[in-house]
Each structure stands twice: as C-alpha cells, then as structure tokens.
Amino acid sequence: MGKTTTAINLAASLVATKRRVLLVDLDPQGNATMGSGVDKNAVEQSIYDVLVERAQVDRVAVTSPTADYDVLPANGDLTAAEVRLLDLDRREQRLKQALAQIPGRYDYVIIDCPPSLNMLTLNGLVAANGLIIPMQCEYYALEGLSALMDTVGQISASVNPELRIEGIVRTMYDPRNSLTNDVSKQLSTHFADRLYRTVIPRNVRLAEAPSHGLPALHYDKQSKGAIAYLTLAGEMLRRQKQVDQSSAEASVAGSPNVS
C-alpha cells in the first residue's frame, strides 16, 4: 500500500476540500485508473495517446464515476509508449508540454508514476514541481529512499530545476512494531520538516477500497484510512499556504521603495 493508494486517496481528499484535481495514471498496470472506478479496458483513449501527441489532455481525461476528480487513464497500451518515446523528440518533456495546454483548469495535478525509473517515470518527474514519497517503515524501503533522493537530485540539476521533495509520508504505519518506530525516528532525524506529521495506518477498509473502484473516503468515510488521508491533504494545503506566504513576503522585501 503505497504510491497508488496515496495518489487516489489524496485526489479524493483534495476534492473534498473543494479543489479541482486531475489524477494522471502513468503506470501501465492502470491501478490508479481502476481504483478510481474507470474501466481501463473500456476507455477509447489513454495517456498513451497524449504522450505520442495523438490527443490532447482535455479530450482524454474522464471524470471518475465514484469521485469528483478527473483521470487521465492508463492501460496496457502504455507499455508501448516506453519504446515509442525513445524515438521521439523531447521525449522526457511530453507530459509537461501536454499539461501546459490546460493552464488554470486544475488546482492540483497528481501523477501516479510506475514503481521503477523509466521513461514514463522521467516524464512524471519532469512535469512535476513537487514530489510526495509514500514510504513503508521498513529497512529496505529506507535503502530505496536514499537511491530515490539521488535520482531526484540528478533530475533537478539537469532537466527540471523546479523539482523538489514536497514531503515523505509514512504508510501502513503500525506503532506497535519496533521496526516501524526505529525507521520513523531515522526519517524524522534525517528529513525533519520534509516528513509529514500525518501517518497512514494499516487499515483493512483502505486496502479493500480499490477492489470496489472507490477511494477510501467514498468506501468508508469513517475508516481510519480515509480520515488519515483527509488529514494529510489538510497538512499539505497548510504547507503550501506557508510557502506561498513566504514567497509573497520575499517578493515585497525585494521590491524597490516607491515614494
């Protein structure tokens, strides 16, 4: 339970706060698509058509029938995009350029990337300005986080200087587990303010929801998982507000005096 669960439930939670949200499924498995109640095998067009410039975002995006956010769906066709993109110009910029055609339509665009670093993932990282890392509190996940941080640093230095770590969220959190607590302490020590205070607990209802094509908020809004993601969305919005205020203050401080 990690990136896709977080993408779906964060999208639903942000919509609950009256934000307009687009969920981009960049994983050929199409789990974010199916988990949003969209049949990946029935869609006429997918994110593949957007990436190869056969269709624009607004023609491919569909509204989730089980939540109120839009979805750029994915299915097995996306596997072919990996090979196709290698032969195209600006191959790592395709998603960014496609999203640039719909300025102001959404308050948040959430991109669910594949679990491995490939051309699809690179498109997601180039298009994004913030990266949320869902992480289980396990030893191997901690090792993987170090490698991911190196990758993000390389991408930021080369093709996307706006990319930053928005935050790290602990998932499948069980405070009764000593390893969970040990890893959590290490994350707190090394990442401090980049570690979200909100944790996502192990929760049966949260795990069941995708099989019904529903975010947890619409499957069981009283479940601990649904409440946790609502809390995470609130924490994320507060952080963004603080960043916006700091930027505005810096802008005023740097302005010339007008008399």
Report pLDDT for 108: 97
Reply yes or no on whether the pLDDT at 253 is more than 80: no
**For residue 150, what are the CA distances in angstroms to 13, 115, 199?**
30, 16, 24
Phi, psi of 112 (to 5 degrees): -95, 105
Mean pLDDT of 32-53: 96
- The amino acid present at 52, given as its one-letter code, is V
Both tokens assigned to 128: 């994004």
Helix, strand or coil, per DSSP, at residue 216: helix
Report pLDDT for 117: 85
Helix, strand or coil, per DSSP, at residue 131: strand
Q: Assess if residue 257 is contained within a domain.
A: no
> Which are the contacts of 175, defined by CB distance < 8 A and separation ≥ 6?
181
Q: 37 lies in which domain range?
A: 3-243
Q: Assess if residue 194 is contained within a domain.
A: yes
Q: Assess if residue 249 is contained within a domain.
A: no
| CATH at 238 | 3.40.50.300
Report pLDDT for 217: 96
Report pLDDT for 247: 67
Reply yes or no on whether the pLDDT at 245 is more than 80: no
Both tokens assigned to 216: 């947890």
Q: Assess if residue 22 is contained within a domain.
A: yes
Both tokens assigned to 142: 């901690």
Could you read off the pLDDT of 162-196 as tens digits, one per residue? 999 999 999 999 988 888 888 898 888 888 889 99
Q: How far is it, in rounded angstroms, from Cα 248 to Cα 236?
A: 18
Reply yes or no on whether the pLDDT at 252 is more than 50: yes
- The amino acid present at 89, given as its one-letter code, is D
Query: 24-28, 41-45, 110-114, 190-194: lowest mean pLDDT where?
Result: 190-194
Reply yes or no on whether the pLDDT at 55 is more than 90: yes
Q: Assess if residue 196 is contained within a domain.
A: yes
- The amino acid present at 47, given as its one-letter code, is I
DSSP 61-90: -EE-SSSSSEEE---TTHHHHHHHHHTSTT
Could you read off the pLDDT of 65-115 as tens digits, one per residue? 999 999 999 999 999 888 888 888 889 999 999 999 999 999 999 999 998
Element (H, E) at 58: helix 57-60
Report pLDDT for 244: 78
How many Cα atoms occupy the beta-carbon half-sphere of 124 within 13 Å?
24
Going along 120-254, which residue ranges are E strands? 130-136, 164-173, 195-201
Q: Assess if residue 250 is contained within a domain.
A: no
Number of domains observed in the structure of the chain: 1
> Which are the contacts of 194, defined by CB distance < 8 A and separation ≥ 6?
165, 166, 167, 168
Q: pTM of the predicted model, to two decimals?
A: 0.92
Pairing of strands 70-72, 164-173: unpaired
Starting at the edge strand that comes first in sequence, how are the strands of the sheet with 195-201 ordered? Answer: 130-136, 164-173, 195-201
* DSSP 8-state symbol, 53: T
Most distant CA pair in the chain, distance = 64
How many Cα atoms occupy the beta-carbon half-sphere of 184 within 13 Å?
18
Could you read off the pLDDT of 127-152 as tens digits, one per residue? 999 999 999 888 777 778 888 888 89
Q: Assess if residue 143 is contained within a domain.
A: yes
